[in-house]
């Protein structure tokens, strides 16, 4: 279903990591290249939201078939990146049926899981398809019907996508995905995942 763009949120400063997560080595490439290449295998359009350290990240993306946008307010938190991404998607893909939001620091997320989210989604039914870990945690990657775009585009500060899908919990459909939602905020978490 190519009318569901994917937004990769990659604007943060990675303060606890002590260096830009986006540029950390992951296999033979940087983390952001790894993430973008996974997203591209779905066949969906990919939009990357950049902010901190963008001048060092853009050269890694310039040869990839993606679009990127700058979040000038990235220091105010993830909500501003979601809002920037949604507004950009609405300009680029005005006829899209929904949007899939993913994070830079979940390197274990697979093409299979992303495809399952989009294959489960039924447009125009107010659906929100969330990922659920084996421990019961629910969150990103998450797919929103376009009826939520207005609210997503108004997020600010540290409000994330969870703010919206908790409010509309009756429309949430959770897709199980085992232990692939592990994220990494510290060097210890990064090393643990990289050596997994």
Q: Which residues contact 122 (CB under 8 A, 6 or more apart)?
A: none
Instruction: Report how many domains make up the chain.
Output: 1
Q: Is cis: bond before 141, omega within 30 of 0?
A: yes
* Boundaries of domain holding 67: 6-194
Residue 1, domain member (yes or no):
no
What pLDDT score does 2 carry?
A: 56
Three-state SS at 49: strand
List the CATH number of the domain containing 71.
3.90.550.10
* Order of strands, sheet of 67-70, starting from the edge strand that comes earlier in the sequence: 67-70, 46-50, 6-10, 98-103, 138-145, 128-132, 172-176
Residue 188, domain member (yes or no):
yes
Give 182-194 pLDDT, tens digit per residue.
999 999 999 999 8
Tell me the average pLDDT across 137-162.
94
Give 102-144 pLDDT, tens digit per residue.
999 999 999 999 999 999 999 999 999 999 999 999 999 999 9
Pick from 186, 181, 106, 190: which is nearest to 136 by CA? Answer: 181
Q: What angle do CA 174, 180, 181 make, to 5 degrees?
A: 65
Give 36-59 pLDDT, tens digit per residue.
999 999 999 999 999 999 999 999
Q: Phi first, then psi: what are they for 182, rounded to 5°? A: -55, 130
């Amino acid at each position: 279903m190519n009318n569901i763009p994917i937004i990769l949120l990659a604007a943060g400063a990675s303060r606890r990591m002590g260096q830009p997560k986006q540029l950390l080595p992951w296999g033979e490439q940087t983390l952001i290249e790894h993430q973008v290449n996974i997203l591209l295998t779905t066949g969906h359009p990919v939009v990357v939201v950049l902010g901190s350290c963008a001048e060092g990240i853009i050269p890694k993306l310039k040869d990839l078939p993606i679009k990127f946008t700058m979040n000038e307010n990235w220091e105010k938190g993830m909500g501003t990146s979601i809002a920037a991404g949604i507004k950009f998607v609405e300009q680029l893909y005005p006829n899209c049926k929904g949007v899939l939001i993913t994070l830079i620091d979940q390197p274990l997320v697979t093409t299979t899981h992303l495809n399952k989210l989009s294959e489960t989604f039924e447009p125009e039914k107010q659906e929100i398809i969330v990922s659920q870990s084996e421990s019961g945690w629910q969150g990103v990657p998450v797919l929103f019907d376009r009826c939520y775009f207005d609210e997503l585009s108004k997020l600010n500060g540290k409000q994330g996508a969870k703010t919206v899908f908790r409010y509309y919990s009756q429309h949430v459909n959770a897709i199980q995905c085992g232990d692939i939602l592990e994220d990494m905020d510290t060097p210890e978490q990064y090393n643990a995942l990289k050596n997994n």
